[in-house]
Chain A
Amino acid sequence: MARPPTQEQFDEFAQVAWPRLYRSAYLLVGDHASAEDLVQTALAKTFGNWGRVRTLEAAPAYARQVLFNTAMSWFRKASWNREQPTEVLPDLGQDSDPTTRSVLLDAVAALPPRQRAVVVLRFYEDLDVRRTAALLGCSEGTVKSQTSFALDKLRTILGDPTLTLEVTQ
């Protein structure tokens, strides 16, 4: 088994990985407290499972996978789903600017959890369809269809009918 890093090495890794993981987590769960909890959980599990991580270089990708696995586990909780209604889309009014950042984050937060995870992985983490499918444990076809549904919904919310997807691998 790979030797665990020293606390100093792990702290250094955690400090470097923290901002990126935190932003992914925030996009996934939509609030600061849950995002912080999610990343703390992912980092602690990464350290606890160092035998599979093996090297500090591999740790960021491992921590990302644990973060998404943990988030998907949270999403399966009935309480989480009840707290995240997605049927009613936010009324953005006539003056909404589709390029306004908070509006985009609100729109992403309004997606159902699986679609949100696909959007974050494909458009924020920049993973291709295959890697996204592997990370979420679903088929590439599911990733493609979830991406399509998500973009449909984002179009509706953002009022931008020109939002298209170039299906890239």
Chain B
Amino acid sequence: MKKLPPWGWAVIVLLLVLLFNLVKTPGFFEFHVRDGRIYGSLIDILNRATPVLLLSLGMTLVIATGGVDLSVGAVMAMTGATAACLIAQPTNSPLSSINVHQSIPQIIVISLFVALLCGTFNGMLVSWLGLQPIVATLLLMVAGRGIAQLLSNGQIITFQFPAFQAIGNGGTLGLPNPMWIGVIVACLFGLLVRGTALGLFVSAVGSNPIAAKNSGINPGRVKMVAYVLTALCAGIAGIIGTADIQAADATNAGLNLELDAILAVSVGGTFSNSGRFSIFGSVVGAILMQTLTTTILTRGVSADATLIIKAIVVVTVCLLQSPEFRNLFSKLGSFVPKKSGGVA
């Protein structure tokens, strides 16, 4: 049997879910054009998958270098709060002294700068101080939400700014903007890891940091790049989220999305310390997560079941990838005599 690529199982499960919908959910594959926009379940899935997709792109690199980034949800909250404060100019916010006069490029640059700072902070803790990634990023996960609340003075900041809102809920060429952003960032990541040496470095650091160091790679710098890229992705996701709901909610923005992203990456065949990672797998993983959610909702099953089903699917896909699990099955299979078996 030819060996499946790491993302193989995720693709198979995604196809199975789609097949299930083809048979069971009428209208799942239909598209409508209204006001120059294309609507349909599939478009909706891709649109809603964007935040998790963005997070999982960066998370892939972080997990491949043997780490994990728990702070992405909090970084989303911080960038979202920054953007909203710059637009709405609330009086009690520490950011009220900065007036960007509703310039969208400035809003985006300043918000992403906040994300960049967060990523650098995580990267410094992990690569320079050598802290365990789980706790190093736990710091910002706990404190970050506090900082986001500090920025917005504990309130939900709302604003009316149609040009900025278009980032989250507008459309271009008939397709929603978040989807375009997701596609563009995913392609950039693909180019970055396959077109430059970064992908090779990440694999090297992930599989054996000492060997990587001896062959002239600086593991610290590679990890730093991974954490900064992840935070930037989280920043973009945060801006999209804020623009979509025209508000910044420091407590709930991006809540638990770090978990979705980690699950998406793992389902996509990226495991820590293996040096093996797949950007494509993570994209499939993120879409699979959203397809599951949408399928469950359209089937009329209560939304709570989503969590249970996600957990079961993730454990199953990861088990299928685990060598021990396959050995167990080949052992069971060996009771049946095969063409070249141990039956003497």
Q: Do A and B come from one complex?
A: no
**Which residues of B come within 8 Å of A, CB atoms?**
none
**Which residues of A come within 8 Å of B, CB atoms?**
none
